[in-house]
Structure 1
């Protein structure tokens, strides 16, 4: 049930991509406004994730899960009824805030209510939801927009959340176990919240909007300011912990053996996954002329393989589990290179493309799922909220970086072919080849990270 709510919130990250052209046509939105409609949810979500995790600890994970789901459902209704672009942008921000309250509670509830092998199974299901939600958003968006239910155009992509959210609220109120909140025992680190929100905002906004404005100087200034404020945030948190306070992220969580390496692995895996989905979808639709539904269905082999591998990797012999993460990144790199070669000529890639996409999903699952499970395996119950908020934030930031960096590379390489080539299949295929090679390089870096840790 809690994973069902997470699936709905994750689906909304991707479903709006398919609806964006229809929204632009109805409201006459500018490119920047459309970018904010798409990105506003993600930015608000990333900024408030750790805050949501801490509020769950202070007020109770059950209570915050229900509150986040109620806010998300209400904001979905408001998005579906929006009368203009400005309203839609504002309600998308509220949607992201609701998701930020909702989603961190999922990992915390798993940590607090499952142990041993049951926890591993629950984390495998959590990983599978991450994969399926991305593709389901593209497919569902194509279906709902294409159906034009009751002449509502794009609006059902948001309105469909309302009955689902209402049912989950009723079930959650009856089924979720009551937990004992920490209350004022640890307090709320308000200066830390402000500093962290500033860091994430200054980091994510230029990444999301930089391509739209051709990377002006202010985007680089914003990224530099984010780096400076990150140093200030870490120094403040360490000083607060030494004084016996309650920092937003307990430094002891960052010192858990293997946590730093896991953060790097998770960020790389999510960046590769999101960057691949974004660039490949652009190539299939703008280059090969596929419809939104067909482009979404092309991602099914990747999603199914990710879900299956995420649920079954724990059944492998123990001697193989320690090699899964570097091996998964290596398989991902090879699969991406093969996808790049198959689509390089500007055609559909042939029947070999589908097993290559399936290998991509299996490799990503082998890289991500054991890294997540390993990072949480030694986390104490009292640190569950901090660890959950940290890892979910890293997952989200990895997706933002992947879309921004690899999406910018795709658009830049596509333009490099010139006006004529950029609009055709050949120019788009050339751009996709560049992105596939860059994604493979990032995956290879993940494999080397695993090997370095193994030697240590």
Structure 2
């Protein structure tokens, strides 16, 4: 038992441990977008070809997405503290390797290692939040996590632009990676001191599922590869990988189902998908990130290539979205217990409204003033993004057993990575197709943003349908009625939806 006099210190330590988790998550997600503005610097200072530049961006995304689900399960089995510290350590070392790379090939290699390490870190964060917090505190913690996700993704171009301006176009790209090193080292030192050591579950020892890892990994790779390389791989042959990926993922589903029937531990507990909150939340997350990620992609290209903005100027233009999103996520974490799925509906509606405002700003205020004109719409969209990400994460994971939290978080974030790749491929195709036909850049960005809006509208429809069915059932808000977790790990015999 924990004495009452010890509880304030324990609570303080939990929030400090959360700070370590969020710091690790920040630098790993920052590296998704920070390199986009550094590509011209890599070309000039390192002589990186267009293909190498593409792999610097897409290789990270691929390795990140492939590592998520296996790493989440590994953390569930062997300890999330150890997995997070290991991933963070490898990420920091790989950042040093990227910054010191003497050629494009080495840069791509270290970038792949860095992405895989980020994929190890990400699911441990949601798993540790599930372990360390419950009830209103868990919602608040996920709110802070949502703020970090939003800020790190949106602020990447700004940080990259500042570093390149400070260190020059020849070597500025190296500091895009070196900036991770002091942060990573500090987080490692603090993590060894502050991250809690939870006891392993008692009872039957569960084994890892190597065939499940192979089937899932090759399936996700076959789906992601043609999407992230859509601009670099010419011709239609690349799309043949999509049905191959579907077959591999189908084989993965059959294999995992058979493991569960035989009483063995699968890589992904398919019973999670019997939880309506998890299935709907994962689909909403996938479609929302498919639309959200593309906003920064096409806006950065439009501002720098068509409106002659510098990398720093483009990053500053997107800054209102990042700040507003952080505020929205913090508020969403506090309000989700009261309003549930309706908060997600409000957030998605605000994102759609804000994007429509950005389209109007592009059309009505062409030229250098477009950045100022889109500031207010980006604030509206940013607040909506914050009210979507953290509440949806809380609602998605609320009934997941704590011992499956890492794997569940990995599956959810794998959906986000796939959604981002699909969105960039679709919206990028619309944007570049119009430019290649010598159409006006303003029309191209309008069509791209309208396509992103359409994708986010799919997420909004899913959220509205879910909300209507929840309100039609007795009890209304499932979150308020969710049982509270025990502070220990759940036992191996519990079913999905119990013990939380």
Same fold by TM (over 0.5)?
yes
Indicate yes or no: 2:314 matched with 1:295: yes
Query: How many matched pairs?
Result: 447
Does 2:231 match 1:211? yes
CA distance in 1, matches of 2:151, 2:467: 30
Q: Is the 8 A contact 1:263 1:391 kept in 2?
A: yes
Cα pair distance change 1:327/1:217, threshold 3 Å:
same
Cα contact 1:57–1:182 (8 A) shared by 2: no
Aligned residue number for residue 393 of structure 2 = 372
Supply the distance in 2 between the matched residues of 1:350 and 1:207 (Cα, whole angstroms): 29
Hey, what's the Cα distance between the residues in 1 that align with 2:239 and 2:201?
40
Distance (Å, rounded) in 1 between the aligned partners of 2:465 and 2:271: 23
Q: CA deviation digits over 1:105-134, x for unaligned, max 9?
A: 111110001111111110001100011101
Provide, for residues 61-104 of structure 1, a one-character-per-residue CA deviation record: whole Å limited to 9, x for no partner: 11111111110011000111111111111000000111111121
**Residues 152 and 219 of structure 1, relative CA distance in 2, 3 Å threshold:** same
Distance 2:198 2:137 in 1: 19
1:334 is displaced (CA, Å) by 2.0
Greater mean deviation of Cα atoms: 368-377 or 322-331:
322-331
Deviation at 1:350, TM superposition (A): 6.9
1:392 corresponds to 2:413: yes
Equivalent position SS for 2:266: coil
Deviates more, 1:188-197 or 1:349-358: 349-358
* RMSD over aligned Cα atoms: 1.9
Could you tell me which of 410, 415, 439 is aligned with 2:452?
439
Residue 449 of structure 1 aligns with which residue? 462
**In structure 2, distance between residues paired with 1:315 and 1:26:** 46
Separation (CA, whole Å) in 2 of partners of 1:314 and 1:64: 26
Change (3 A) 1:151 1:218: closer
CA contact (8 A) 1:62 1:178 kept: yes
Conservation of the 8 A alpha-carbon contact between 2:46 and 2:103: yes
Task: Tell me the CA shift for residue 320 of structure 1.
Answer: 4.4
Within 5 A, what are the aligned runs for 1:207-286? 207-214=227-234, 216-286=235-305
Counterpart position of 1:111 = 130
Paired residues of 1:275 and 1:405 also in contact (CA < 8 A):
no
- Secondary structure of 1:163's match? helix
CA offset at residue 156 of structure 1? 1.0
Task: Please identify runs of 4+ aligned residues in structure 1 that moved more than 6 A.
Answer: none
Q: Is residue 428 from structure 1 mapped to residue 455 from structure 2 by the alignment?
A: no
TM-score (norm 2): 0.86
- Pairing 1:175-214 to 2, within 5 Å after superposition: 175-181=194-200, 185-214=205-234
Cα shift at 1:321: 3.9
Alpha-carbon distance, 1:400 to partner: 2.2
Q: CA deviation at 1:270?
A: 1.2
Separation (CA, whole Å) in 1 of partners of 2:418 and 2:200: 28
Report the CA distance between 1:433 and its aligned residue.
0.5
Contact 1:53 1:105 in 2 (8 A): yes
Report SS of the residue matched to 2:233: coil
Q: How does 1:42-57 map to 2 (within 5 A)?
A: 42-57=61-76
Instruction: Report matched runs for 1:150-169 at 5 Å.
Output: 152-169=171-188
CA distance in 1, matches of 2:115, 2:377: 33
Judged with a 3 Å threshold, the aligned counterparts in structure 2 of structure 1 residues 318 and 102 are, in CA distance, closer, same or farther, namely closer
Conservation of the 8 A alpha-carbon contact between 2:330 and 2:386: no
Please state how far the C-alpha of 1:272 moved relative to its aligned partner: 1.5
Structure 2 gaps, min length 5 = 1-19, 470-500
Cα distance between partner residues in 2 of 1:320 and 1:111? 20
Counterpart in the other structure of 2:192: 173
Question: What is the CA–CA distance in structure 1 between the aligned matches of 2:338 and 2:274, rounded to whole Å?
Answer: 26
C-alpha spacing 1:28/1:318, structure 2 compared with 1 (3 Å) = closer
Looking at structure 1, the residues matched to 115 and 431 of structure 2 have their Cα atoms a distance apart, in angstroms, of 27
Checking the alignment, whether the CA contact within 8 Å between 2:155 and 2:318 is kept in structure 1 is: no
